[in-house]
Chains A and B, each alone.
Chain A
Amino acid sequence: MRSLILRTVAPLIVGLMVLFSIFVLLRGHNEPGGGFIGGLIAVAALSIYGIAFGVETVRRAIVFHPLAIAGAGLMLSTLSGLVSMVFHVPFMTGLWIYPVILGEEVPLSSVMTFDIGVYLVVVGAVTSVALSLEERGED
């Protein structure tokens, strides 16, 4: 798939898709969306990038090994559940803080970090599968 058009458009599309995936992830709590969907959109973006430029480029672009990303996500999700221990409430109880950043009240919560963990797991795991399969295709 060494199409010139794809190669030209790919960086733009991929950038937009990754941005969109994060948007879907963050709005998930109040609108349709969330970690699973966001993660899958990001995977799709990376797959397109891989088709355009080859697997190696993708691996370089995401810096970490995909499974390391997934592992980090799983850990983040677990820790989000464990934070509640500090406050002597049951595991996985949602905790919210409302810091004011730049004059705007921003709701942050352990639920959100949990969802980010889900996102990372989906991105890491599915990317790892897709990339390793694509890699074999180039053998």
Chain B
Amino acid sequence: MSVADLTFLALLLPFLGAIVAPLVTRILGHNAAWALALVPVAIFLHLTGFSAEIARGEVVTGGYAWVPSFQVRFSWLIDGLSLTFMLLISGIGALIVLYSGGYLKGHPHQGRFFSFLLMFMGSMLGLVASDSFLMLFIFWELTSITSFLLIGFDHQREAARRAALQALVVTGGGGLFLLAGLIILWNMTGISQFSLLTAFAPQVKASPLYLAALILVLGGAFTKSAQFPFHFWLPNAMEAPTPVSAYLHSATMVKAGVYLLMRLYPVLGGTPAWQIILPVFGAATLIIGALLAVRQTDLKLMLAYTTVSSLGLLVLLTGFGAPYAIEAAALYLVAHCLFKGALFMVAGSIDHETGMRDVTRLGGLRSAMPLTFAAALASAASMGGLPPFFGFLAKEEVYAALYAFDGRAIIFAALAVVGNALMFAAAFAVALKPFIGKRVETPQAAHEAPLLLWLGPAVLALMGLAVALLSGTVHQLITSPMASAIAGEARVVTISLAPHFGVPAALSTLTVLLGIGFYLRLARLRAAIAAALAAIGWGPDRGFDQAMRGLVRLSCAVTRRLQTGRLDIYMTATFTLLAVVLIVPPFLYGELARAPVFPQDIPLHELAIMAIAVIGLVAVILAQDRLTAIVSLGIQGFSVAVIFLLYGAPDLAFTQFMIETLAVVILALVMTRLRLSPSDHRPLRESLPDAAIALACGLGATLFLLKVTQAPFDTGLSDFFNQYSKTIAHGANVVNVIIVDFRGTDTLGEIAVVMIAALAILSLVRLRAGSLRRIADNDPDAEEASR
């Protein structure tokens, strides 16, 4: 197998794993995690094979034709950016699979959970590997759908269902914006592959549609990456089991929006619009997320809001456009995946072992859960930006990027310092508070988490330390290629743990001091923010509920207006439209028929029969009793039969004759039995508009037919039938030959319709009265019960 085939297989493997996961879990129980973790491990190993090429700054592409007629390819693009993401997804994915094995041990649907999780992994890998726009969009929406399934995993709780739907509506809806944006880019350049798009960057930026494309793409990225004001779905998504929160809602999926911004940075980035919109929204998200995080007492919610905050910082950096900003974004993204994934798993372990997630009712767990405590502390140190952890490097680089002596930079640097300090406080509130102090009673007696539960956080925390110590190698293999891929030009990341002094270090120290201050005043800070929020009293989360209710009400009202359930309204609408369609276009386009020339030599008997037909028609309308109505109906039908006979259609005449007879007979049978009155009970105010519409239709049809018959007639088909009826089909009656030979397949369909109509009629006639009543009650439950 070639490398391309293996890569394709690697992209497919999670989905194959998802298929077998329930079966494996049924056989192995929670230990299936060990077997299923092989899937991400195999992908991880395959991907490390690319690292040498990527470190040299090369790009690996491959793929297959997918929809050749639209030049759509199933193709992947592996560069520093996507490789980093894929390594994080598969690496953390392996740990998460193991963690889920312990976390959901004994859950009746653990197999389903593994299946959803692997499906998500496959979607996320596909998303970051995609080279083609459409493939990216499809995987983008697939991550939304799998995230919906995972958040709503505990679907018996309404809160979980609501959170799942909310995430789907927000992120899936954002995906549609993204699609529109990508299509604009596609249209602008004729290119549908990211790898080829960079060359068109000047053309895109100069295009009048640039702003539209940018805003639409941002609509996708901001919803996915929970930027203010779309941040509300992310904390709600904490209804999901903790492995999902750790994986989707901190390490991977929520970064998809940031990934997209980074991927499109060389094409869309660097313009004034980009450098205003992104930092402003990013900074707002950073501050609001951090404030809301400090306000929470639930471990997972605190972490969720700090994730929002971190995503804001990433967007801010991606849009900032200063030296080091891209490098800082790359470093911070990797660091965040490591420490936030670990902290979420720690929170889950505490919850799992104690049955309690409220930080104010936890304490003194350090002796009961030493390993978890160690992992928590290391991760929090990384998150707080303390040396010697990776988070420290990231934060130094962030300040190096943000600090400058102009007004704009000072504002953003100040906001970043406050946001980071708040995150520092939140990090230690999660990682320190539950473990120190006096032991607090919890619903379950706390003890150390089992291997499957502490392994993940421990590995991630150690990684946070190791990559900082080995920063030179890591920069060469991961962060430099990633920053280069984002920037679209070679970048070298150099920051290390070596002591250095300057403004960034000072800002970093200030952050830590401020963070310690916030940590010590946490309770007061929390009360102040809660009071402020209560004063505002409305948030986008409530807005979402209001919007959903409004949507239901609106669609209900519209449906009731359009589908009144009253047949005469449907009829009136249909025929009004028919009249408009028949009459208006000829006037608009000057296609009116010429004044007709009525022939003067119509034989009297023909005029008479037409007059009889019209008399019959009028009599049907005026009839006051059943007999008159039926007879009048018969008169117009027989007149038509005679007209057919007079104008060279004996077959039609005979058929019409027989049919009219039968129709009159069965109509009489039914009408006499039902004692239905044929007369009209319409008041004049209804019958006049009805008559007007009917007249308009009739007039329109006449005009239409006049125009049609004035056009030259193409006799090609008729000549064909006349010519070959005898010579090929051996029949002298051309009409019959058309029916049974030339157009025999049509006739076959028509007699099948006759047959089906007869079957339907027979079953209607044979219905028992009892079954009819049940249908009339229209109560499926009662029907079900009576079976």
A residues apposed to B, CB below 8 Å? 24, 28-37, 40-41, 43-44, 47, 66-67, 70-71, 73-74, 77-78, 81, 91-92, 94, 96, 107, 109, 111, 114-115, 117-118, 121-122, 124-126, 128-130, 132-134, 136-137
Contact = CB atoms under 8 A, between A and B. Distances in A.
B673 A136 contact: yes
B669 A44 contact: no
21 contacts: A24-B654, A29-B731, A29-B732, A29-B736, A30-B733, A32-B733, A33-B654, A33-B733, A35-B739, A40-B658, A43-B658, A43-B662, A47-B662, A70-B754, A70-B755, A111-B731, A118-B739, A118-B747, A125-B757, A128-B761, A133-B765
A37 B658 CA distance: 8
Interface string B641-664: 000000000110011001101100
A109 B733 CA distance: 15
B740 interface: yes
Contacts of A43: 658, 662
- 7 nearest A-B pairs in the assembled complex, by CB-CB distance: A125-B758, A40-B658, A30-B732, A32-B650, A29-B731, A92-B744, A121-B751
Contacts of B669: 133-134, 136-137
B471 to A, nearest CB: 75
B737 interface: yes
Contacts of B655: 36-37, 40
Interface string B756-787: 01110110011000000000000000000000
Contacts of A70: 754-755, 758
A133 B670 contact: yes
A67 B732 contact: no
A26 to B, nearest CB: 11
A77 B748 contact: yes
Nearest to A24: B654
Interface in B710-737: 729-733, 735-737
Nearest to A119: B751
A129 B756 CA distance: 12
A19 B730 CA distance: 24
A81 B745 contact: yes
B673 A129 contact: no
Interface string B606-627: 0000000000000000000000
Contacts of A91: 745
A114 to B, nearest CB: 5
Contact of A30 (B731, B740, B741): B731
A109 B729 CA distance: 10
Contact of B751 (A77, A92, A130): A77
A78 B733 CA distance: 22
A111 B751 contact: no
Given A40-B658, A132-B766, A32 B651 contact: yes
Given A128-B758, A128-B762, A133-B670, A122 B737 contact: no
B199 interface: no
Given A30-B731, A134-B669, A37 B751 contact: no
A31 B732 contact: yes
B665 interface: yes
Contacts of B651: 32-34, 37
B371 to A, nearest CB: 75
B665 A47 contact: yes
B727 to A, nearest CB: 12
A34 B739 contact: yes
Interface of B: 650-651, 654-655, 658-659, 661-662, 665-666, 669-670, 673, 729-733, 735-737, 739-741, 744-745, 747-748, 751-752, 754-755, 757-759, 761-762, 765-766
B751 A74 contact: yes
Contacts of A118: 739-740, 747, 751
Given A30-B733, A81-B745, A117-B751, 16 more contacts: A28-B733, A28-B736, A29-B732, A30-B732, A32-B650, A34-B735, A34-B736, A35-B740, A36-B655, A47-B662, A111-B740, A111-B741, A121-B755, A128-B761, A129-B761, A132-B766
Contacts of A47: 662, 665
Contacts of A28: 733, 736
Which of A37, A44, A118 has the most B CB atoms < 10 Å from its CB?
Answer: A37
Nearest to A21: B658
Given A122-B751, A126-B662, A67 B758 contact: yes
B784 to A, nearest CB: 30
Nearest to B730: A96
A63 to B, nearest CB: 18
Nearest to B758: A125
A134 to B, nearest CB: 7
B494 to A, nearest CB: 76
Given A29-B737, A44-B658, A71-B755, A133 B666 contact: yes
A44 B147 CA distance: 67
Contacts of A24: 654
A40 B748 contact: no
B744 A81 contact: yes
B455 to A, nearest CB: 67
A32 B758 contact: no
A126 B730 contact: no
Contacts of B751: 73-74, 77, 117-118, 121-122
A111 B738 CA distance: 11
B733 A129 contact: no
B154 to A, nearest CB: 54
